[in-house]
């Protein structure tokens, strides 16, 4: 096969694998939050077990991306695509790590009565799952506008985190027996906030891939 044709075929396969990894990460986030809400230790364990596959995919995609860069010396546009793959795969792996963190919290608070109704945490989770999905869709479609919308939703996630922080702080000050679980729930909110930041990072790299311009959406 002609070298450039082979390169583009390899690049397409690489991008499809990135999207498959993204789907696994999105599923991991969903399962981790569901395990917390339902106090389902079996589902939490599934998240922990599934993380190894995501880690392997990250290493494989990185290795193949670097090999393509080294062997094919791609032109500017293709080089930006490969650079975006390398950055996005790192952000996806870190999101998966945070979903593991949430699953571990789910295991720690299993069977405990809630110190407060869980309202804003599932709202945060719903938003960040959508951000991950739309970050990947923006990548598929080369859609700068869709990538830019991630900044607004990240602000919404940050606002919910601030609200959760304040509510849990008041609860801990007024009810000392709530401190242990409230601290765990605050950690979950932090993990979700970081997932939102990583999804926004993918949006930034989509913009770079399409326009060749670095923009900070996490401001």
Task: Supply the CATH number for residue 189's domain.
Answer: 1.20.58.220
- Supply the range of the domain harboring residue 200: 3-211
Cα 204 to Cα 112: distance, rounded to the nearest angstrom: 40
In a domain, 98, yes or no: yes
Eight-class DSSP state of 92: H
Residue-level pLDDT at 214: 83
Contact 107, 44 (CB under 8 A): yes
In a domain, 100, yes or no: yes
Give how many domains the chain has, as a whole number: 1
Locate tokens 């995501």: which residue?
A: 54
In a domain, 175, yes or no: yes
In a domain, 217, yes or no: no
Residue 134, token pair as written in the block: 């739309």
In a domain, 219, yes or no: no
Collapsing DSSP to helix, strand or coil, 75 comes out as coil
Residue-level pLDDT at 73: 78
In a domain, 218, yes or no: no
Eight-class DSSP state of 6: H
pLDDT in 10s for each residue of the chain, 219 residues: 566 788 889 889 999 999 999 999 999 999 999 999 999 999 999 999 999 999 999 999 999 999 998 887 778 888 899 999 999 999 999 999 999 999 999 999 998 999 999 999 999 999 999 999 999 999 999 999 999 999 999 999 999 999 999 999 999 999 999 999 999 999 999 999 999 999 999 999 999 999 988 888 776
Ordered alpha helix ranges (H), 1-117: 3-38, 41-72, 76-108
Cα 194 to Cα 74: distance, rounded to the nearest angstrom: 33
Residue-level pLDDT at 4: 73
Directed axis angle between helix 179-211 and helix 76-108, to 10°? 170
In a domain, 171, yes or no: yes
In a domain, 112, yes or no: yes
């Amino acid at each position: 096969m002609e070298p450039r044709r082979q390169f583009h075929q390899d690049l397409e396969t690489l991008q499809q694998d990135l999207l498959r990894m993204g789907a696994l990460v999105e599923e991991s986030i969903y399962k981790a939050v569901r395990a917390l809400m339902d106090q389902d230790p079996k589902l939490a364990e599934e998240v922990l077990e599934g993380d190894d596959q995501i880690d392997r995919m990250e290493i494989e995609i990185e290795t193949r991306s670097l090999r393509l860069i080294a062997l094919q010396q791609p032109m500017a546009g293709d080089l930006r695509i490969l650079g975006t793959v390398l950055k996005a795969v790192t952000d996806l792996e870190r999101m998966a790590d945070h979903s593991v963190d949430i699953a571990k919290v789910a295991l720690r608070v299993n069977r405990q009565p809630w110190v407060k109704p869980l309202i804003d945490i599932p709202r945060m989770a719903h938003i960040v799952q959508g951000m991950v999905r739309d970050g990947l869709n923006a990548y598929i479609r080369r859609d700068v506008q869709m990538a830019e919308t991630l900044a607004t939703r990240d602000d919404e996630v940050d606002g919910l985190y601030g609200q959760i922080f304040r509510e849990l702080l008041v609860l801990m000050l007024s009810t000392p027996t709530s401190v242990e679980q409230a601290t765990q729930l605050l950690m979950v909110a932090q993990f979700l906030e970081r997932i939102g930041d990583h999804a926004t990072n993918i949006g930034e790299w989509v913009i770079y891939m399409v326009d060749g311009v670095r923009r900070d959406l996490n401001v």
